[in-house]
Structure 1
């Protein structure tokens, strides 16, 4: 199982949460950013439906996979 970490950081004149290299929109306060990150983290772990996924790799080849709606990551909020 993978793990997704939401990190609270200063960003763009305010506060944001960051996952990997991706930032959320800025929030006016650290607390606002943390609440938004906690909400996103809760939504991330909600099971969904099993569905098919098609994706193209860097060499232009297409791949088909089945994604289980039960295969959700664990989440963590830091900062």
Structure 2
């Protein structure tokens, strides 16, 4: 099972949560960013419908993968 960790960071004169290199919107306080990250983490764990995902890889090749709706990651928030 995959693991996803949201990190709380200072961003644009406020606070945000970050996943990899991607930032959320900016929040006025660390607490607000943390609460938003907790919500995002909970939503990531919710099961959904099976679907096929199509994406272009780093070599420019198009790939198709089947994603099971109950294959959800473990999520954490690092403050």
TM-score with structure 1 length normalisation? Answer: 0.89
After superposition, the CA RMSD in angstroms is 1.3
Computing the radius of gyration from Cα coordinates, the structure with the larger value is: 1
Residue 61 (structure 1) aligned with residue 64 (structure 2): no
Aligned partner of residue 4 in structure 1, secondary structure: strand
Aligned in 2, Cα 1:50/1:58: closer, same or farther, shift over 3 Å? Answer: same
Q: Which runs of 5+ in 1 are unaligned?
A: none
TM-score with structure 2 length normalisation? Answer: 0.89
Q: Which runs of 5+ in 2 are unaligned?
A: none
Aligned in 2, Cα 1:40/1:61: closer, same or farther, shift over 3 Å? Answer: same
Paired residue total: 79
